[in-house]
């Protein structure tokens, strides 16, 4: 089931972030930075976001959070869409099972309900798995840029989903949502 995140989900979200960042970003980000991330610090960040009522969805199965997504509105003038799927991470043990697609579809539905017709997303230029997934679901490259992590810039690509209706249907046959 996909639902809005609750304060008690912060530690599970942090565990997923740490596992995915360390596995996926090891060849991309500074190893010292990754090694210094702590469960407590990351969980505190997510707890604050949840308590601030940021739009965070989790997918859970049998009481276990398997992935999460963060949607935000961003009125950036030179972007074709003024909102973004700002974080999308799936527990490595649940990857390849459609969790990410279902979370993206839920965020697309949320964006539609907020009056948007498209949505932005970005990924590190070296994260080909994510880029290929987004492109396979209809995202188009908008521009290359840099994303700052711990004071250092890393090449990334900004993409746009121009058809949220189609994206909102990804995995709909297997999705159970409670936004």
pLDDT tens readout for residues 47-90: 999 999 999 999 999 999 999 999 999 989 999 999 999 999 99
Q: pLDDT tens digits, residue range 159-170?
A: 999 999 999 998
| CA quadruple 67, 47, 57, 136: dihedral sign | negative
Residue 141: CA count within 13 A, CB half-sphere: 12
Q: pLDDT tens digits, residue range 123-178?
A: 999 999 999 999 999 999 999 999 999 999 999 999 999 999 999 998 664 444 44
Q: Which domains does the chain have, with CATH numbers?
A: 2-174 (3.40.630.30)
4 vs 172, residue with greater confidence: 4
pTM of the model as a whole: 0.92
């Amino acid at each position: 089931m996909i639902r809005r995140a609750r304060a008690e989900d912060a530690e599970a979200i942090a565990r997923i972030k740490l596992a995915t960042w360390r596995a996926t970003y090891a060849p991309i980000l500074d190893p010292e930075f990754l090694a210094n991330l702590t469960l407590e610090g990351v969980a505190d960040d997510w707890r604050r976001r949840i308590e601030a009522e940021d739009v965070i969805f989790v997918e859970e199965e049998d009481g276990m959070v398997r992935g999460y997504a963060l949607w935000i509105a961003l009125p950036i003038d030179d972007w074709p869409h003024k909102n973004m799927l700002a974080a999308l991470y799936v527990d490595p043990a649940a990857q390849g099972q459609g969790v990410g697609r279902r979370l993206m579809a839920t965020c697309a539905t949320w964006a539609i309900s907020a009056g948007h017709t498209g949505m932005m997303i970005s990924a590190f230029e070296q994260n080909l798995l994510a880029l290929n997934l987004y492109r396979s679901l209809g995202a188009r490259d908008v521009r290359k840029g840099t994303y700052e992590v711990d004071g250092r810039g890393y090449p990334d690509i900004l993409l746009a989903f121009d058809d949220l209706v189609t994206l909102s249907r990804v995995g709909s046959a297997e999705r159970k949502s409670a936004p």
